[in-house]
Amino acid sequence: MSRVLDQKPAKEDEALDSALRPKIWADYIGQEKIKENIRIILTAAKQRGQSPDHLLFYGNSGLGKTTLAQLVAMEMGKEIKISSGPAIERAGDLAAILTNLNDGDVLFLDEIHRISNTVEEYLYPAMEDYKLNLILGKGPMARTMELKLPKFTLIGATTRPALLSAPLRNRFGAIFQLDFYKPEDIEKIIERSARILNIQIEPDAVKAVAERSRFTPRVANRLLKRARDFAEVQSDGKITKEISAKALESLDIDKMGLELGDRKILLALIEKFDGGPVGLQTLSAAAMEEEDTILDIYEPYLMQMGFIERTPRGRIASKMAYEHLGIKIKNSQSQLI
C-alpha cells in the first residue's frame, strides 16, 4: 500500500503524530455534532458520579477515532488503555486487560469488528455487568470463576460497522459516525500542525495541501510533513505554493487528491470492465489490490468524490472518472452512467 495513504503511521512518524494529536477539546477541530453529543454524555455521567456508557465510533481510518477516545478519558480524568480486536486472541488476553483497569478507565478497542467470536462472548457480561466468567481447566474438571471488574467504559472503533454482530452493537450506549472533514477544517488542522511543528507555510500552500488531503486529518498531516521535507531540501524551509505543488506531484497525488492506487482502480474499472458494473472480488483481482484495502482506503474517497458508484450489480465508474482520467466514454457505456 502507498506510504501516503498508509492506514497507520510508520515508526518515524508516530512521535510526530502524537505531538499533533489534540490533547484538549478546544484543539479538536471539526466533527462538531459528535463533540457536542459526547460532551453531554460525559457531563451527565460526571453529574451522576458514574462512568459513561460504552461508546462506538465508526468511520474511515485517519478521521480521529483514537483521538476522540483519548479526549473522553482526559475529560473524565481517567486512564486510557489501548488494544485492538485482532490483538485479543483468547479470553485470557481479555481478562488480563480488563483486570488491569481501574474504576472509570477507558478501554479503547480499535478494529473491534475483528474480535473473535469466543472473545466477543466474554465481552458481553463484561460490558453489561462488569463481570468476567472464566472457565478454568477442561472436561469434567472444568470450573467457572466469576471475576468482578472495575466499572470501565469501552470505546470501540471500527471502519466496518456492518461487520459487528447485532448483540455487540446493541451493547453500546451511543454510536457515532465520523465523517470526512470539511475543507476549511482540514485547512485549520494544517495550520495548527504547522504551528506546532514550527513550519512556515504560505496560505496558498495550506489550500493546496488541504485540497489533496482526502478530507482526512491524518493524510493532511502526512502531506504537510512531506512538503516540509521538500521545502528543507530544495529551498529555504518555507512551504510555498510551488514547493507544495512539487511535493504533491512527486508523491503522485493529483489535483483531486487521487494517488496511484486510486487511479489504478479507476483505470481497471474503465479499461478492463468498460466502466462496470463489476463486483469487488473481480475488481480487486484486476487492480491487484486487496479487497479490504479497496473497501477501507480507496473506495470511500472515490465515492465521496463521485468517481465510483456502488450499485447492486457492482461498482460503476462515473462520467467524472472518465473526464478526470481523460478517457472518452464509449457509446455503449453512455446510457449506463
Residues that bind ligand ADE (CB under 6 A): 20, 22, 27-30, 64, 67, 189, 192, 217
The answer to whether 181 is annotated as binding is yes
How far apart are alpha carbons 302 and 285 in whole angstroms?
Answer: 18
Compute CA 208 distance to the chain's CA centroid, rounded to the nearest angstrom: 22
How far apart are alpha carbons 275 and 260 in whole angstroms?
Answer: 18
The answer to whether 182 is annotated as binding is no
The answer to whether 21 is annotated as binding is yes
Q: Which of 294, 320, 292 is nearest to 305 (CA)?
A: 320
How far apart are alpha carbons 94 and 101 in whole angstroms?
Answer: 11
Is 66 an active-site residue? yes
HSE of 2 in the Cβ direction (CA atoms, 13 Å)? 18
Is 218 an active-site residue? yes
Torsion of Cα atoms, 278 then 282 then 288 then 292, to 10°? 90
The answer to whether 315 is annotated as binding is yes
What cell does 5 get?
495513504
- For residue 22, the tally of other CB atoms under 10 A from its CB is 18
At closest approach, how far in Å is the CB of 191 from ligand ADE? 10
> Could you say which of 158, 159, 216, 293 is catalytic?
159
What cell does 214 get?
482526502
What cell does 108 get?
479503547
Please, which residue, 22 or 59, has the CB nearer to ligand ADE? 22
At closest approach, how far in Å is the CB of 17 from ligand ADE? 8
The answer to whether 130 is annotated as binding is yes
Is 110 an active-site residue? yes
Is 65 an active-site residue? yes
> Could you say which of 218, 222, 226, 263 is catalytic?
218
Q: Which residue is nearest to ligand ADE (CB)?
A: 217
Q: Which of 281, 263, 280 is nearest to 2 (CA)?
A: 263
Please, which residue, 59 or 300, has the CB nearer to ligand ADE? 59
The answer to whether 14 is annotated as binding is no
Please, which residue, 33 or 330, has the CB nearer to ligand ADE? 33
> Could you say which of 17, 78, 105, 110 is catalytic?
110
Please, which residue, 22 or 257, has the CB nearer to ligand ADE? 22
Please, which residue, 187 or 262, has the CB nearer to ligand ADE? 187
How far apart are alpha carbons 6 and 2 in whole angstroms?
Answer: 6
- Max CA separation in the chain (angstroms): 74
At closest approach, how far in Å is the CB of 224 from ligand ADE? 11
What cell does 61 get?
481510518
Binding residues: 20-21, 62, 65-67, 128-130, 171, 181, 218, 310, 315
> Residues annotated as binding site for ATP?
20-21, 62, 65-67, 128-130, 171, 181, 218
In the annotated binding site for DNA, the residues are 310, 315
Query: Which residues are part of the catalytic machinery?
Result: 65-66, 110, 159, 218
